[in-house]
Chains A and B, each alone.
Chain A
Amino acid sequence: MTTALLETRAVTKRFGGLTAVKTLTMKVERGALYGLIGPNGAGKTTVFNLLTGVYDPTDGDMLFEGARIEGRKPHEITRLGIARTFQNIRLFPDLSVLENVMAARHLRSRQTFADAVLGTSRHHEEEREIRARSMALLELFDLQRLADETAISLPYGSQRRLEIARALATDPQLLLLDEPAAGMNPQEALDLMRVIRRLRDEFALTILLVEHNMKVVMGVCETVHVIDYGETIAIGPPAEIQKNPKVIEAYLGGA
């Protein structure tokens, strides 16, 4: 049996008396487009924060490529190959669009601190490499013409795409997208769906998506995982989820 790329086993997170995530068991296979949905306050972002090491789980195991990741620091988890975007955009405000991506590329740069201080040839080679890779990522998201703009001067939709480009600069295997379509107009959302599919197909990425825009979720995800009050209420393909009475009740309220 092959191990799933990401697996959580009965992960629970309590904040004082509030159980934000309750015995979450999730299996994300390599190459999957996995959607995590639920009404407001269901605990979706908490799941992301657990997976990326911002919070430690109260209970349960989290495995990435079969190795346990709970208790690791966020930067260690990114190094292992999990990258994320943020629900409330967190770009580096005083860096340019290109520099935002270049900064994230630091993780995979082989130059040492001494290389940089002494300005060795390895430093110059690595800087060229960082610049070239970052520019290629900007082109993928059609941001190359805005490379020298300040990141926060970009329109909202472009900032979201820049966040994805920046996450990709860390060479992840698993990409966590926290509401990537939030604040996008229908056209931008359609473009985003195309990009997400391309990332999976061309870059062999596995994508875990939290999203409120049902068009995006149902149009892109192959597996949808629904949680409500931290508890799993359904897992399955989009078509099934849409008909699931429990899901409809969670979203529209019980009769």
Chain B
Amino acid sequence: MRVPTKLLATTVTIGLLVGLNYLFEHGFGDFRINAYYARILNLIGINITLAVSLNLINGLAGQFSIGHAGFMAVGGYSATFVTVYYGRAIAGLFGSSLDDAVGAAVVMLISLLTGAAAAAVAGLAVGIPSLRLRGDYLAIVTLGFSEIIRVIILNIPAVGGATGFTAAIPITNFFWIFAVAILTIVIVRNIATSTFGRVLATIRGDEIAAEAMGISTTRYKVLAFVISAALAGVAGGLSGQLFANPLNPQNLNFVRSIEIIVMIVIGGIGSITGAVFGATTLTILPEALRRLDQQFPGLRMVTYALLLILMMIFRPQGLFGRRELGWTWLRRRGPAAPAAAIK
């Protein structure tokens, strides 16, 4: 029973995404989606992937990484590199071209997988030495790592150096962005609700007790870290190949990493729905505040900062805390609560 249900859900989701993607690119009748809104929506999808994947290591495993932009850069540049230099050849192998939907899809898939693999290897290399230690070492090492990556990229002319990877071919679309976002949510949710989610909670709670319960803390920290890095790499690959949105070392500095951390802190660290909410809000908010800027120049970033400060004063645990927004939560708040409690 379970497999057909899953298959059905997957088919419906893909169908829906393909349909929406068509609507995005070609409109419906006379209706066209405003390019500005489409762009914001796409950025929301990419940020959801980034926030939810960071939540795996920072929220669930309780390890403080501030190098997510670094993994995004590694994955993004690798993926874009594959498309730019080998994209036409790969599409040709399938008797197609990059302008064709099938060819573009195959190249996109291969480039994203390359990005994921490259970021995972980087995650492994950073994670193995630093995750053996407790405390702030990971934060320092990941910060250093992402800066090193940024400086290296600045000095590679083949990927554009300081001007950014402007040679990128824009093959990212709505379908890929949201397929990846949904996949990320499903993967992280499945980890969180399984025995591995509890393992990460023990690491977050008390590493000595976790070891005493037979849990190899280093192994699971590295595993969570590598998955988190790989997903950030995919987000990078999507971001770099989005129309008029080339990867640029300047935008992949630690400020970007902090931005992703703010998203999960706002939503409630450890909560997946919280991360989705945080990513959505923090992508929309600066744009929504643009109107304010037209009347009172400079007030936009002030308001943005003020809202974050107020949030931290009045709700330091984030909007959702560790809870997930969902049916059980809504039901628990409803009038049927006492009956559920007794059971």
When distances are taken between beta carbons in the complex, the residues of chain B under 8 Å from A105 are 195
Query: Contact: B214 with A54, CB < 8 Å?
Result: no
Identify which of A11-19, A107-115, A226-234, A244-252 touches chain B.
A107-115
Whether a CB of chain B sits under 8 angstroms from the CB of A121 is yes
Whether a CB of chain A sits under 8 angstroms from the CB of B2 is yes
Distance in Å from the Cβ of A121 to the closest Cβ of chain B?
6
26 A-B Cβ contacts within 8 A? A74-B208, A74-B211, A74-B212, A75-B214, A78-B211, A78-B212, A91-B206, A91-B209, A92-B201, A94-B205, A95-B198, A95-B201, A99-B201, A102-B195, A103-B213, A103-B215, A104-B214, A106-B195, A106-B214, A107-B213, A116-B194, A119-B2, A119-B6, A130-B195, A166-B213, A170-B213
Least CB separation from A90: chain B residue: B209
Q: Mark A47-90, 1 if CB is under 8 A from B, else 0.
A: 00000101000000000000000000111001100011010001
Mark B residues whose CB is within 8 Å of A.
2, 6, 187, 190-191, 194-196, 198-199, 201-202, 204-206, 208-217, 223, 322
Query: Contact: B201 with A94, CB < 8 Å?
Result: yes
When distances are taken between beta carbons in the complex, the residues of chain B under 8 Å from A93 are 205-206
When distances are taken between beta carbons in the complex, the residues of chain B under 8 Å from A75 are 211-217
A interface residue count range (under 10 / 10 to 19 / 20 to 34 / 35 or more)? 35 or more
* Distance A94 CA – B269 CA, assembled complex (angstroms): 13
* Distance A84 CA – B212 CA, assembled complex (angstroms): 7
When distances are taken between beta carbons in the complex, the residues of chain A under 8 Å from B205 are 91-95
Q: Known: A94-B201, A94-B204, A95-B198. Is A106-B213 also a contact (CB below 8 A)?
A: yes
Whether a CB of chain B sits under 8 angstroms from the CB of A29 is no
Query: Contact: A103 with B190, CB < 8 Å?
Result: no
Q: A54-B211, A106-B214 are in contact. List 9 more A-B contacts (CB 8 A).
A: A78-B211, A93-B205, A94-B322, A103-B195, A103-B199, A103-B202, A103-B210, A124-B2, A167-B212
Distance in Å from the Cβ of A127 to the closest Cβ of chain B?
7
Query: Contact: B191 with A116, CB < 8 Å?
Result: yes
Least CB separation from B195: chain A residue: A106
Whether a CB of chain B sits under 8 angstroms from the CB of A255 is no
Query: Contact: A99 with B198, CB < 8 Å?
Result: yes
Mark A residues whose CB is within 8 Å of B.
52, 54, 73-75, 78-79, 83-84, 86, 90-95, 99, 102-107, 109, 111, 113, 116-119, 121, 123-124, 126-127, 130, 166-167, 169-170
When distances are taken between beta carbons in the complex, the residues of chain B under 8 Å from A166 are 213
Least CB separation from A86: chain B residue: B209
When distances are taken between beta carbons in the complex, the residues of chain A under 8 Å from B223 are 113
When distances are taken between beta carbons in the complex, the residues of chain B under 8 Å from A90 are 206, 208-209, 212
Distance in Å from the Cβ of A50 to the closest Cβ of chain B?
13
* Distance A118 CA – B2 CA, assembled complex (angstroms): 12
Query: Contact: A127 with B195, CB < 8 Å?
Result: yes
* Distance A54 CA – B204 CA, assembled complex (angstroms): 19
* Distance A47 CA – B206 CA, assembled complex (angstroms): 21
Query: Contact: B215 with A106, CB < 8 Å?
Result: yes
When distances are taken between beta carbons in the complex, the residues of chain B under 8 Å from A102 are 195, 198
Distance in Å from the Cβ of B74 to the closest Cβ of chain A?
22
Least CB separation from A130: chain B residue: B195
When distances are taken between beta carbons in the complex, the residues of chain A under 8 Å from B190 are 116-119
Distance in Å from the Cβ of B275 to the closest Cβ of chain A?
17
When distances are taken between beta carbons in the complex, the residues of chain B under 8 Å from A54 are 208, 211
* Distance A246 CA – B212 CA, assembled complex (angstroms): 34
Distance in Å from the Cβ of A84 to the closest Cβ of chain B?
6
Distance in Å from the Cβ of A238 to the closest Cβ of chain B?
28
When distances are taken between beta carbons in the complex, the residues of chain A under 8 Å from B187 are 117
Interface residue from B191, B195, B201, B212 paired with A83 (Cβ < 8 Å): B212
